């Protein structure tokens, strides 16, 4: 499912126009993104938790030359599915 299909599903499920569904989805994505930028965690009970994790610096290899390269530390977004979501998938 891509973004436009998700917007159509939201509009049909909530019985709202596609324009309103688009604004709602964009607002949700922007809010989650801003919260993660600020180091906050976003928990949606039954759905899951969005958070930021620290990835340590490590040594990797250049696949073309085989030379070792240094990969710097980074913050990466993470999602952990909630129990209700896991149960509905299984």
Question: Does the residue 3 lie in any domain?
Answer: yes
Give the pLDDT mean for 10-19.
95
Range(s) of the domain holding residue 28: 1-40
Question: Does the residue 16 lie in any domain?
Answer: yes
Place 8 in a pLDDT band, splitting at 50, 70 and 90.
Answer: very high
Question: Does the residue 27 lie in any domain?
Answer: yes
CA-to-CA separations, 41 to 2, 7, 29, 78, 81, in angstroms, rounded: 25, 25, 14, 10, 13
Q: Tens of pLDDT along 38-88?
A: 999 999 999 999 999 999 999 999 999 999 999 999 999 999 999 999 999
pLDDT of residue 42: 96
Question: Does the residue 54 lie in any domain?
Answer: no
């Amino acid at each position: 499912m891509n973004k436009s299909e998700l917007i159509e599903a939201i509009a049909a499920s909530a019985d709202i126009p596609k324009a309103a569904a688009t604004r709602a989805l964009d607002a949700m994505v922007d809010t989650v993104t801003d919260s993660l930028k600020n180091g906050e965690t976003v928990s949606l009970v039954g759905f899951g938790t969005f958070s930021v994790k620290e990835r340590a610096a490590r040594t990797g290899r250049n696949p073309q030359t085989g030379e070792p390269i240094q990969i710097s530390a980074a913050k990466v977004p993470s999602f952990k599915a909630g129990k209700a979501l896991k149960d509905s998938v299984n």
